[in-house]
Chains A and B, each alone.
Chain A
Amino acid sequence: MKKIIALGLTALMAVSVLTGCGGNSEPQKVTTDGSTSMEEVIGVLGEAFQNDSGIEVTYNPTGSSSGIQAVQEGRCDIGLSSRALKEEEKSAGLAGTVLAYDGIAIIVHPENPIADLSLETIAKIYTGEITNWSEVGGNDAEIVLIGREAGSGTRDGFESITGTEEACQYRQELTSTGDVITAVSQNPDAIGYASVSAVADKDNVKAITVDGVAANEATIKDGSYVVQRPFVLVTKDGEELSEAAQKFFDFITSADANELIASAGVVSAN
Chain B
Amino acid sequence: MKQSVKSEAYAQQRMKSKQRMERIIHGVFLLLGLITVGCVLLITLYLVISGLPAIVEIGPVDFFLGQEWAPTAGEPSYGILPFILSSVAGTAGAILLGVPIGFMTAVFLSKMAPSRLKDVMEGAVSLLAGIPSVVYGLVGMMVLVPGIRKLFNVPDGASLLAAIVVLTVMILPSIIKMSVTALDAVPREYEDASLALGATAVETYFRVSVPAARSGIAAAVVLGVGRAIGEAMAVMMVAGNAPNMPGLFESVRFLTTAVASEMAYSSGLQRQALFSIALVLFLFIMLINATLNFFLKREKE
Produce 1/0 per residue, B261-275, CB < 8 A to A. Answer: 110111100100000
Q: Which residues of A contact B242 (CB under 8 A)?
A: 170-173
CA A62 – CA B41 in complex, angstroms? 27
Which of B34, B241, B253, B270 is A151 in contact with, Cβ under 8 Å? B270
Complex interface residues of chain A between 145 and 185 (CB less than 8 A to chain B) = 149-153, 156, 165-166, 170-175, 179, 182-183
The smallest C-beta distance from B139 to any residue of chain A, in angstroms, reads 12
The smallest C-beta distance from A118 to any residue of chain B, in angstroms, reads 23
Question: Which residue of A is nearest B158, CB measured?
Answer: A172
Q: Which residues of A contact B45 (CB under 8 A)?
A: 8
Looking at B5-13, B141-149, B195-203, B218-226, the stretch in contact with chain A turns out to be B141-149
- B236 CB within 8 Å of chain A: yes
Question: Which residue of B is nearest A143, CB measured?
Answer: B155
Q: Which residues of B contact A63 (CB under 8 A)?
A: 264-265
Looking at A186-194, A195-203, A213-221, A259-267, the stretch in contact with chain B turns out to be A186-194
Looking at B68-76, B89-97, B205-213, B284-292, the stretch in contact with chain A turns out to be B68-76
**In the complex, are the beta carbons of B265 and A65 less than 8 A apart?**
yes
**In the complex, are the beta carbons of A142 and B155 less than 8 A apart?**
yes
Q: Which residues of A contact B38 (CB under 8 A)?
A: 4, 7-8, 11
Complex interface residues of chain B between 234 and 261 (CB less than 8 A to chain A) = 236-237, 240-242, 251, 253, 260-261
- A69 CB within 8 Å of chain B: yes
**In the complex, are the beta carbons of A149 and B265 less than 8 A apart?**
yes
Question: Which residue of A is nearest B142, CB measured?
Answer: A186
- A144 CB within 8 Å of chain B: yes
**In the complex, are the beta carbons of A166 and B241 less than 8 A apart?**
no
Q: Which residues of B contact A175 (CB under 8 A)?
A: 236, 241, 260-261, 264
**In the complex, are the beta carbons of B241 and A149 less than 8 A apart?**
yes
CA A156 – CA B71 in complex, angstroms? 13
Which of B240, B260, B264, B265 is A172 in contact with, Cβ under 8 Å? B240
**In the complex, are the beta carbons of B149 and A172 less than 8 A apart?**
no
Known: A4-B34, A166-B74, A187-B146. A182 touches B156 (CB 8 A): no
Q: Which residues of A contact B37 (CB under 8 A)?
A: 4
- A258 CB within 8 Å of chain B: no
Question: Which residue of B is nearest A1, CB measured?
Answer: B41
- A64 CB within 8 Å of chain B: yes
Which of A11, A173, A186 gathers the greatest number of chain B CB atoms within 10 Å?
A: A173
Known: A171-B158, A172-B240, A179-B237. A153 touches B34 (CB 8 A): no
**In the complex, are the beta carbons of B42 and A12 less than 8 A apart?**
yes
Q: Which residues of B contact A150 (CB under 8 A)?
A: 70-72, 262, 265, 270
- A66 CB within 8 Å of chain B: yes
Question: Which residue of A is nearest B250, CB measured?
Answer: A171
**In the complex, are the beta carbons of A173 and B265 less than 8 A apart?**
no
CA A131 – CA B92 in complex, angstroms? 32
**In the complex, are the beta carbons of B264 and A62 less than 8 A apart?**
yes
CA A142 – CA B149 in complex, angstroms? 12
Produce 1/0 per residue, B114-149, CB < 8 A to A. Answer: 000000000000000000000000000110011001
- A255 CB within 8 Å of chain B: no
Q: Which residues of B contact A68 (CB under 8 A)?
A: 267
**In the complex, are the beta carbons of A183 and B141 less than 8 A apart?**
yes
Question: Which residue of B is nearest A147, CB measured?
Answer: B242
Q: Which residues of B contact A21 (CB under 8 A)?
A: none
Q: Which residues of B contact A11 (CB under 8 A)?
A: 38, 42
**In the complex, are the beta carbons of A166 and B266 less than 8 A apart?**
no
CA A151 – CA B71 in complex, angstroms? 9
The smallest C-beta distance from A193 to any residue of chain B, in angstroms, reads 16
Q: Which residues of B contact A66 (CB under 8 A)?
A: 264-265, 267
CA A200 – CA B34 in complex, angstroms? 53
The smallest C-beta distance from B151 to any residue of chain A, in angstroms, reads 14
- A141 CB within 8 Å of chain B: yes
CA A170 – CA B239 in complex, angstroms? 13
Known: A166-B70, A170-B242, A171-B240. A189 touches B264 (CB 8 A): no
Task: Show 29 residue pairs from A and B whose CB-CB distance is below 8 angstroms, ordered by the A residue.
Answer: A4-B37, A5-B41, A8-B45, A11-B38, A12-B42, A64-B265, A65-B266, A68-B267, A69-B267, A144-B155, A149-B241, A150-B70, A150-B71, A150-B262, A151-B72, A151-B266, A152-B265, A166-B70, A166-B74, A171-B155, A171-B251, A172-B241, A172-B251, A173-B241, A175-B264, A182-B142, A183-B141, A186-B146, A187-B156
Top 10 A-B pairs, shortest CB-CB distance: A151-B265, A63-B265, A142-B155, A166-B73, A173-B241, A63-B264, A172-B240, A144-B156, A150-B72, A149-B261
